[in-house]
Copies of this chain bind each other. A is one copy, B any other.
Amino acid sequence: MLSFCLLAFYQLPAQAEKPAYDAVNPFIGTGEDGHTFPGAAVPFGMVQLSPDTQIRPFKQSYKWAAGYRYEDHSILGFSHTHFSGTGHSDLGDVLIQPISGEVRLEPGEPGTGYASRFRHETEQAQPGYYAVTLDEYRVRAELSATERVGVHRYSFAAGQEASLLIDLRSSIYNYPGKVLWSRIRLRTDGTITGMRETRGWAPGRQLYFALRCSQPLSGHEFLDREPVPQEYKGFPPPGAGSADVPSIEGRGLIAVLHFGRIGRPLVVKVALSPVSEDHAIANLDSEVPGFDFDAVRASARRSWERQLARMNIRATEPMRENLYTALYHALMAPTTSMDIDGSYRGPDNQVHKAVGFHFVSTFSLWDTYRAEQPLMTLLQPESRTVDVIRSLLESRRYSPFGILPVWQLQGLETWCMIGYHAVPEIADAYMKGIRGYDAGEALSAMVASARYAPYGHLADYMQLGYVPVDRDAEGASKTVEYAFDDWAIARVAQAMGRKDIASEFEKRSSNWRNVFDSKAGFIRPRLSNGSYREPFDPERSGVDSGFTEGNAWQYSWYQPHDEGGLVRALGGDAQLVAKLDATFDAIVDPKKYADVEDIAGMIGQYIHGNEPSHHLAYLYNYAGAPWRTQERLKQIVDTQYKPSPEGLAGNDDLGQMSAWLLFTAMGFYPVAPASNEYVIGRPFADEITLTLPNGKLFHIVAEQLSDTNPYVGSVRLNGRPLKRGFLRHEEILGGGELRFVMSSQPDKSWATLPNARPFSLTPYR
């Protein structure tokens, strides 16, 4: 009866609050270093349709990793694939620009190229919907999407000739030669199909498309703007020389579709397929049979509302906007990467069929294993996590290297970043009791990935116990991350009763100590001869520093499974606190890192804009100083998240930055995924209700939350004081209430109770 009342109470939204859907602001992160895009997609959609404001040469592309950049004033067109928040990029497939009047054929600024000026005041962005006015062409452009189909509605200037320009050369992170081959074809029924194959982040990626318009063409031009090589003059197809050929192939293709003067808005639908043009047509037919833009938009809205409803948030308006937008961004990837019939392209670039699951890709695993994927185990149906795991396992089955994905897009491996972090994603799910895949295969796949000698100097790691910096310029970072992944394997092996494997990987999991120099008090780059490299500058980052997108200040405290070991290595709690303080309070010359990509959002040497720092604030808890965690969290949240385009301090990284905020706002964080424990921090929302995969509700309440009450005064779980600094996964899954009472003063007694410290103080129990 009590729980019924609670339920009824928690489900009542506060009167003044906007619906969750309206609280999402897709522009958050589109400026500065967020690298998100404002365009239209459904949750985890294959199509993520969004404006591209610049296509810069490869070396200058970092700031345009999502295609769109809030600071820009012109739009090149709308392309169908984007990454949400990456720090390297690709995609921008099938760029379409609607044009009234004269059609310029080359990209470039308004007046000389086909880009159009636009003003932010004409923009509207909601989950699954984006609109803007292209001032140059007086076109109102609206975008929406289904899982595999982008739907455009273009209202052209009255009395002007309406055209669409399709540029198959356009690409994010472009460079001369990136397009290996492309085709475009007008079929007799008016459908346009085509493909392109690119040598980008994932080399040899093929993407197929099918496009239909709500109105018949009055004419078309298919052009190859990259001349056939001098050496080879092929035999020209019929009509070569004129542009209205039914089909063209080459490496520099554009198409112009003409519609004449049209009184009604033009609806354009574009389906993608990783497999073939015919599959793209099947996807199109299946998902968007008609031309009802409003119906597609309404359906996209419903999809988002269903997903956003899993987290019912009461908070200040800015925080609520931050949180719902974070939830929106957390639901962007991994993306669907299979056709309606289950066909997908695997890491061998061959076509396979997903049977009994949904093949997904866009695995930014170095980022997402930390908080994004653990969050999904709380917010998504279990089947979603099973899809992720089965996609990882099948990818490994078809990997020419026989290992799990590292950074995979559209089924293809990019080998970006370090670690074998598919391991902790799988292990986290397994330890949480999620099943629905071959667990034996999962363990084999994890072990195979961790033992694959040619990968990331694992040979050295297995032989020496660390990755020496004289053989691998990122050796120190790799050593600590491998050690964590190894621990995750040991956990699973232990749970499965595979003691041999558990013992091997437990041993490996302490390898972080092999690069921890107790004298210096830092993880240090170590040479293959056993000595540490001299000189040592913990501030040194970048090429050959020993570290990946960071330095010793960020990586030295990365042993999430063994922070007790760190405390001992440093000499005690006080030393850890001192080190953490030194990290956060370091005086850093920002110029020193101005040119280093991915280092952004700096608080001293704490770099919130990049993942290696993400657990740092929670580490004070391990030293028995949770109030310091609480202070640091406030410092981070206050400075690193804003409900504005420049509101993300660093790359959102497919939701990891967002997932950090969502966990943190709930008052706990998965410092060590696969531990089944969440470290208590402090909440940032008055109330959050999770609808769990099992249908139960878990309420997090923060009483007396305010700027002047930054500390946790007390915590109760289901009415009883929580006498430890962490929460167990099964406690959340059981449903109930976690109630914080915030205070102007920390409750130091609560935090220093015996057994208050999280799991990893005693890692091998």
Residues of chain A touching chain B, judged by Cβ–Cβ distance below 8 Å, are 57-59, 175-178, 180-181, 183, 185-188, 197, 199-201, 203-204, 229, 231-232, 234-239, 242, 245-247, 249-250, 276-278, 348-351, 400-403, 407, 413-416, 452, 454-456
In the complex the two chains form, what is the Cα distance from A181 to B177 in whole Å?
Answer: 12
A452-B276 in contact (CB<8A):
no
- Enumerate chain B residues within 8 angstroms of A180, measured Cβ to Cβ: 180-181, 197
Q: Show 21 residue pairs from A and B whose CB-CB distance is below 8 angstroms, ordered by the A residue.
A: A58-B231, A175-B231, A175-B232, A177-B229, A178-B232, A180-B180, A181-B204, A187-B400, A199-B232, A203-B250, A235-B414, A235-B416, A236-B415, A238-B401, A238-B454, A238-B455, A242-B454, A246-B401, A247-B400, A276-B350, A277-B348
A348-B185 in contact (CB<8A):
yes
Of all chain B residues, the one with the shortest Cβ separation from A173 is B232
Given contacts A247-B400, A416-B235, contact A229 B185 (CB under 8 A): no
In the complex the two chains form, what is the Cα distance from A296 to B192 in whole Å?
Answer: 46
A237-B277 in contact (CB<8A):
no
Min CB distance, A499 to chain B, in Å?
A: 27
Interface of A is mostly: loop
Of all chain B residues, the one with the shortest Cβ separation from A177 is B229
- Enumerate chain B residues within 8 angstroms of A201, measured Cβ to Cβ: 234-235
Most buried by B among A200, A278, A348, A402: A348
In the complex the two chains form, what is the Cα distance from A242 to B51 in whole Å?
Answer: 42
- Enumerate chain B residues within 8 angstroms of A455, measured Cβ to Cβ: 238-239
- Enumerate chain B residues within 8 angstroms of A249, measured Cβ to Cβ: 203-204, 349
- Enumerate chain B residues within 8 angstroms of A277, measured Cβ to Cβ: 348, 350
Min CB distance, A297 to chain B, in Å?
A: 32
B234-A203 in contact (CB<8A):
yes
- Enumerate chain B residues within 8 angstroms of A414, measured Cβ to Cβ: 234-235
In the complex the two chains form, what is the Cα distance from A250 to B203 in whole Å?
Answer: 8
Given contacts A59-B231, A229-B175, A232-B58, contact A237 B350 (CB under 8 A): no
Of all chain B residues, the one with the shortest Cβ separation from A184 is B400
A177-B229, A247-B401 known; 4 new pairs, CB 8 Å cut-off, are: A186-B400, A201-B235, A238-B401, A278-B350
A-B interface, 6 closest residue pairs, ranked by CB to CB distance from nearest: A247-B400, A239-B454, A175-B231, A238-B455, A235-B415, A238-B454
Given contacts A185-B400, A455-B238, contact A351 B276 (CB under 8 A): yes
Min CB distance, A460 to chain B, in Å?
A: 13
In the complex the two chains form, what is the Cα distance from A187 to B402 in whole Å?
Answer: 9
Min CB distance, A314 to chain B, in Å?
A: 43
Min CB distance, A325 to chain B, in Å?
A: 30
Of all chain B residues, the one with the shortest Cβ separation from A414 is B235
- Enumerate chain B residues within 8 angstroms of A415, measured Cβ to Cβ: 234-238
- Enumerate chain B residues within 8 angstroms of A181, measured Cβ to Cβ: 180-181, 197, 199, 203-204
In the complex the two chains form, what is the Cα distance from A416 to B233 in whole Å?
Answer: 12
Min CB distance, A277 to chain B, in Å?
A: 6
- Enumerate chain B residues within 8 angstroms of A403, measured Cβ to Cβ: 238
Min CB distance, A453 to chain B, in Å?
A: 9
- Enumerate chain B residues within 8 angstroms of A402, measured Cβ to Cβ: 188, 246
Min CB distance, A339 to chain B, in Å?
A: 13
Of all chain B residues, the one with the shortest Cβ separation from A403 is B238
B238-A456 in contact (CB<8A):
yes
In the complex the two chains form, what is the Cα distance from A58 to B403 in whole Å?
Answer: 41
- Enumerate chain B residues within 8 angstroms of A232, measured Cβ to Cβ: 58, 175, 177-178, 199-200
In the complex the two chains form, what is the Cα distance from A231 to B237 in whole Å?
Answer: 32
Of all chain B residues, the one with the shortest Cβ separation from A235 is B415
In the complex the two chains form, what is the Cα distance from A348 to B57 in whole Å?
Answer: 32
- Enumerate chain B residues within 8 angstroms of A197, measured Cβ to Cβ: 180-181, 197
- Enumerate chain B residues within 8 angstroms of A401, measured Cβ to Cβ: 237-238, 246-247
In the complex the two chains form, what is the Cα distance from A657 to B199 in whole Å?
Answer: 44
In the complex the two chains form, what is the Cα distance from A452 to B199 in whole Å?
Answer: 36
Of all chain B residues, the one with the shortest Cβ separation from A347 is B247
Of all chain B residues, the one with the shortest Cβ separation from A57 is B231
In the complex the two chains form, what is the Cα distance from A172 to B32 in whole Å?
Answer: 52
Min CB distance, A551 to chain B, in Å?
A: 21
In the complex the two chains form, what is the Cα distance from A413 to B200 in whole Å?
Answer: 29
B413-A237 in contact (CB<8A):
yes
Most buried by B among A242, A416, A454: A454
Of all chain B residues, the one with the shortest Cβ separation from A399 is B247
In the complex the two chains form, what is the Cα distance from A178 to B58 in whole Å?
Answer: 24
- Enumerate chain B residues within 8 angstroms of A204, measured Cβ to Cβ: 181, 183, 249
In the complex the two chains form, what is the Cα distance from A177 to B348 in whole Å?
Answer: 23
In the complex the two chains form, what is the Cα distance from A402 to B416 in whole Å?
Answer: 44
In the complex the two chains form, what is the Cα distance from A59 to B231 in whole Å?
Answer: 7
- Enumerate chain B residues within 8 angstroms of A235, measured Cβ to Cβ: 201, 407, 414-416
- Enumerate chain B residues within 8 angstroms of A185, measured Cβ to Cβ: 348, 400
- Enumerate chain B residues within 8 angstroms of A407, measured Cβ to Cβ: 235
- Enumerate chain B residues within 8 angstroms of A200, measured Cβ to Cβ: 232
Min CB distance, A618 to chain B, in Å?
A: 30
In the complex the two chains form, what is the Cα distance from A229 to B176 in whole Å?
Answer: 8
In the complex the two chains form, what is the Cα distance from A231 to B179 in whole Å?
Answer: 13
Min CB distance, A92 to chain B, in Å?
A: 15
In the complex the two chains form, what is the Cα distance from A210 to B693 in whole Å?
Answer: 45
Min CB distance, A160 to chain B, in Å?
A: 29
- Enumerate chain B residues within 8 angstroms of A183, measured Cβ to Cβ: 204, 349
B231-A452 in contact (CB<8A):
no
- Enumerate chain B residues within 8 angstroms of A400, measured Cβ to Cβ: 185-187, 246-247
Given contacts A188-B402, A238-B456, A246-B402, contact A231 B176 (CB under 8 A): yes
- Enumerate chain B residues within 8 angstroms of A278, measured Cβ to Cβ: 350
A245-B454 in contact (CB<8A):
yes
In the complex the two chains form, what is the Cα distance from A239 to B407 in whole Å?
Answer: 17
In the complex the two chains form, what is the Cα distance from A166 to B586 in whole Å?
Answer: 57
Of all chain B residues, the one with the shortest Cβ separation from A202 is B234
B452-A238 in contact (CB<8A):
yes
In the complex the two chains form, what is the Cα distance from A7 to B291 in whole Å?
Answer: 71
Given contacts A276-B351, A402-B188, A455-B238, contact A177 B247 (CB under 8 A): no
In the complex the two chains form, what is the Cα distance from A349 to B195 in whole Å?
Answer: 10
In the complex the two chains form, what is the Cα distance from A350 to B187 in whole Å?
Answer: 14
Min CB distance, A695 to chain B, in Å?
A: 42
- Enumerate chain B residues within 8 angstroms of A351, measured Cβ to Cβ: 276
In the complex the two chains form, what is the Cα distance from A396 to B461 in whole Å?
Answer: 58
In the complex the two chains form, what is the Cα distance from A11 to B7 in whole Å?
Answer: 97
In the complex the two chains form, what is the Cα distance from A201 to B59 in whole Å?
Answer: 35
- Enumerate chain B residues within 8 angstroms of A236, measured Cβ to Cβ: 415
Most buried by B among A204, A238, A351: A238
- Enumerate chain B residues within 8 angstroms of A178, measured Cβ to Cβ: 232
